[in-house]
């Protein structure tokens, strides 16, 4: 079950929604209605400390573990359809996935604007944005600048992934086996239970695989096969009622086929076909660990989170994307990150009493990180490709790069509650980081002089945020917030000479909205309006000197405005309806230019005009069986692929359906995704290597269908 945590509306809609707060019935009357929603209160960590999402002055959509399992949602991008103004432009290969909130996206892979947190540990590179979801209790999509609490890579928001806690009471487990067309198999199993009265363990493992969607017409082979092994182990130790320690270790080993990239014009006339003389592969290995300690004191809560993440990725691919043996590319990346956070907060049951009508809840923390990143990429050119006068094969190494990053952040946040109805909050965070770079490029044989850049830069920022929330009734809140977002500058592993470094990015963001329960408790409805203004926007642009290579630059200023709605309602005892919808109008402002091109007035790339998901869930008990059914339609508005707005994707819709029966611990379901086989191209970028259209891209997932078998105990 999904319970969305927020909606956005323009100013007039906010006024109408606010008026509805006063016309709805009382909470006591709602409790007598047999159609009243009975979903449990969802607790989120959108502001680090656990709290009820409906109370917080922030846009957060929580997708529960039950929804993830019921829908077989295995990645963040699949779960994101339930959050408005959330869009992933991603390759089919797991390595490259770029989340975008409200038009905001990463300007450089190593410097994301939206960070994925797994059990409190940040994944500090875009290559880790989309992970396999196994044994997950909840996923939160927190939209809007969160730099006042989370720092440098939360300008657009964060994604929180929380692992399910091991059971201290009894042994439980589950096993699911979806299989379908394209040779799809996705087996997942979890077991959890107590080791003693104070310790519990959980173990999860799985494997997913499928054949390719795209055929290489030269060889007849599937080009983009996918296979992934994954697992997670967790230990919970509770030595006393107010002490808790958790250790979570997880890993993935993806062995995928090649990228299915092809000329944009060819994709539109002949989808899911490519012509390659060379078939490559993509690989990604991740091993991460989180060590969490929490002590609930009478007045103060202490929390610590220690994280270590090691990952490496390798890919080999055709670089010209043609049947001709012109060029190939081999790329290897690896990184190790260490993070440590220590946080103190007022105990949930013991806020500071400022007066008889004023209470203070507070938190303060210290965050430290180090990250080492290495990349080696080699472009191999056949004779005469670089020059008609060069009859030998040439290897171009660009880059051979080593980037080291370390930083520290200090933050504080306080909320004063007046007469139990008005919350006034203020927070700020100071971040400082230091970056070192060694960047080399050279040819073999040496047909041009090598280049070397050894540089150091430091960045500092203070990010404030303030908000006000007024509870008209316990179930109806009006709020507004204002704050800043921040991304540090950095270094491009490879770029034209003189563009090796890029500067900081800053934003100011405002939003206002309402969070309500109405219609005698049958409906939960949230709405909000947002405005974002940012300067020195970091934009990823194509390197004109090297095919299929990108680097980050600053392009002055941009702005984004929009609205968001979230709704869930009970149509009957067995029927539930839900919907989310958001609009984004993101554009470059006067003075913005990239590589000499004036971008003023252009739409931000990969920012759909709207996103939405509407659907229904049906569950009916019949004798010893339970009949299950669910369907939703995902809407994606038109958007531009590039900053110059020379190519784009038209609006499209995807329909997904599931239905089956459950008896006791056993279940059987049939499912279909993209039921009407809609053709769309979610990711496209400029290609300076000779594509006739000037762009290459990948097709979106075609219609897939199958059967899922499940058992729980």
Provide the pLDDT for residue 1.
Answer: 36
Cβ distance 665 to 713 under 8 Å?
A: yes
Give the C-alpha separation, 188 to 234, whole Å.
16
> b or e along 475-502 (b: 16 or more beta carbons within 10 Å of the residue's beta carbon)?
bbbbbbbbbbbbbbbbbbbbbeeeebbb
Q: What is the pTM of this model?
A: 0.92
- What percent of the chain lies above the pLDDT cut of 70? 94
Task: Spell out the domains of the chain, with CATH numbers in brackets.
Answer: 2-712 (2.40.170.20)
CA 394 centroid distance within chain: 39
Mean pLDDT over 629-656 rounds to 95
Provide the pLDDT for residue 30.
Answer: 38
Is the model's pLDDT at 707 over the cut of 70? yes
Is the model's pLDDT at 153 over the cut of 60? yes
Mean pLDDT over 610-624 rounds to 93
Provide the pLDDT for residue 106.
Answer: 67
For residue range 227-284, what is the model confidence (pLDDT) as tens digits?
Answer: 999 999 999 999 999 999 999 999 999 999 999 999 999 999 999 999 999 999 999 9
Is the model's pLDDT at 9 over the cut of 70? no
> b or e along 542-568 (b: 16 or more beta carbons within 10 Å of the residue's beta carbon)?
bbeebbbbbbbbbbbbbbbbbbbbbbb
Provide the pLDDT for residue 573.
Answer: 83
Q: Which of 214-223, 311-320, 341-350, 690-699 has the lowest mean pLDDT?
A: 690-699
What is the band of 13 on the pLDDT scale with cuts at 50, 70, 90? very low
| CB within 8 Å of 126: residues ≥ 6 apart | 96, 97, 98, 106, 108, 109, 110, 112
Is the model's pLDDT at 409 over the cut of 50? yes
What is the band of 18 on the pLDDT scale with cuts at 50, 70, 90? very low
Q: Which residue has the higher pLDDT, 44 or 119?
A: 119
Q: Which of 8-17, 583-592, 640-649 has the lowest mean pLDDT?
A: 8-17
Provide the pLDDT for residue 101.
Answer: 94
Mean pLDDT over 54-79 rounds to 89
| CA dihedral (120, 126, 130, 132) positive or negative | negative
Cβ distance 588 to 600 under 8 Å?
A: yes
For residue range 111-128, what is the model confidence (pLDDT) as tens digits?
Answer: 889 999 999 999 988 888
Give the C-alpha separation, 474 to 453, whole Å.
59
For residue range 300-345, what is the model confidence (pLDDT) as tens digits?
Answer: 999 999 999 999 999 999 998 889 999 999 999 999 999 999 999 9
For residue range 450-460, what is the model confidence (pLDDT) as tens digits?
Answer: 999 999 999 99
Is the model's pLDDT at 4 over the cut of 70? no
Provide the pLDDT for residue 36.
Answer: 54
Cβ distance 525 to 567 under 8 Å?
A: yes
């Amino acid at each position: 079950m999904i319970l969305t945590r927020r909606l956005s509306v323009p100013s007039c809609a906010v006024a109408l929604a606010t008026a509805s707060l006063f016309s709805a019935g009382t909470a006591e009357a709602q409790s007598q209605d047999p159609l009243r929603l009975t979903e449990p209160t969802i607790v989120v960590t959108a502001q680090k400390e656990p709290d009820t999402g409906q109370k917080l002055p922030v846009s957060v959509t929580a997708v529960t573990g039950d929804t993830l399992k019921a829908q077989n949602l295995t990645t963040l991008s699949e779960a994101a359809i339930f959050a408005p103004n959330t869009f992933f432009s991603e390759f089919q290969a797991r390595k490259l996935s770029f989340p975008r909130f409200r038009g905001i996206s990463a300007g450089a892979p190593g410097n994301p604007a939206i960070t994925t947190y797994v059990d409190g540990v940040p994944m500090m590179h875009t290559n880790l944005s989309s992970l396999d979801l196994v044994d997950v209790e909840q996923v939160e999509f927190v939209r809007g600048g969160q730099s006042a609490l989370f720092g440098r890579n939360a300008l657009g928001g964060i994604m929180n992934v929380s692992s399910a806690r091991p059971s201290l009471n009894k042994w439980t487990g589950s096993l699911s086996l979806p299989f379908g067309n394209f040779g799809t198999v996705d087996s997942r199993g979890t077991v959890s239970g107590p080791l003693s009265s104070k310790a519990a363990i959980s173990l999860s493992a799985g494997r997913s695989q499928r054949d390719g969607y795209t055929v290489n017409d030269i060889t007849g082979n599937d080009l983009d096969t996918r296979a992934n092994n994954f697992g997670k182990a967790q230990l919970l130790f509770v030595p006393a009622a107010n002490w808790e320690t958790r250790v979570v270790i997880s890993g993935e080993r993806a062995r995928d086929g090649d990228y299915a990239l092809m000329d944009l014009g060819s994709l539109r006339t002949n989808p899911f076909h490519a012509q390659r003389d060379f078939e490559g592969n993509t690989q990604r290995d991740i091993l991460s660990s989180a060590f969490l300690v929490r002590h609930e004191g009478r007045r103060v809560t202490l929390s610590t989170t220690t994280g270590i993440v090691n990952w490496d990725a390798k890919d080999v691919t055709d670089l010209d994307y043609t049947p001709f043996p012109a060029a190939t590319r081999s790329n290897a990346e690896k990184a190790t990150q260490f993070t440590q956070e220590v946080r103190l907060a007022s105990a949930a049951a013991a806020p500071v009493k400022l007066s008889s009508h004023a209470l203070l809840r507070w938190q303060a923390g210290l965050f430290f990180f180090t990250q080492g990143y290495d990349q080696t990429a080699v472009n191999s050119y056949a004779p005469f490709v670089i020059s008609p006068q060069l009859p030998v094969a040439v290897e171009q190494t660009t880059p051979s790069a080593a980037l080291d990053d370390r930083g520290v952040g200090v933050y504080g946040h306080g909320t004063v509650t007046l007469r139990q109805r008005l919350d006034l909050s203020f927070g700020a965070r100071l971040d400082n980081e230091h970056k070192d770079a060694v960047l080399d490029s050279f040819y073999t044989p040496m047909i041009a002089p090598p280049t070397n850049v050894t540089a150091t830069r430091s960045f500092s920022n203070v990010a404030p945020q303030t908000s006000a929330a007024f509870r008209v009734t316990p179930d109806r809140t009006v709020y507004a917030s204002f704050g800043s977002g921040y991304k540090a500058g950095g270094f491009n592993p490879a770029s034209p000479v003189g563009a090796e470094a890029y500067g900081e990015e800053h934003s100011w963001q405002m939003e206002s909205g309402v969070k309500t329960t109405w219609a005698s408790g049958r409906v939960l409805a949230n709405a909000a309006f947002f405005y974002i203004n940012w300067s020195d926007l970091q934009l990823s642009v194509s390197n004109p000197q090297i095919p299929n290579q990108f680097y980050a630059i600053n392009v002055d200023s941009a702005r984004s405005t929009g609205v968001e709605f979230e709704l869930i309602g009970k149509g009957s005892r067995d029927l539930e309806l839900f919907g989310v919808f958001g609009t984004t109008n993101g554009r470059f402002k006067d003075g913005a230019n990239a590589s000499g091109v004036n971008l003023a007035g252009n739409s931000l790339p990969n920012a759909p005009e709207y996103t939405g998901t509407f659907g229904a869930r049906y569950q009916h008990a019949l004798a010893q069986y339970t009949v299950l059914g669910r369907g939703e339609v995902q809407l994606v508005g038109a958007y531009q692929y590039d900053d110059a707005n020379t190519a784009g994707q038209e609006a499209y819709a995807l329909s997904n359906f599931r239905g089956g029966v459950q008896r006791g611990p056993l279940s059987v379901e049939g499912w279909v995704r993209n039921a009407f086989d809609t053709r769309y191209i979610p990711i496209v970028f400029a290609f300076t290597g000779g594509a006739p259209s000037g762009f290459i891209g990948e097709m979106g997932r075609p219609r897939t269908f199958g059967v899922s078998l499940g058992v729980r105990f």
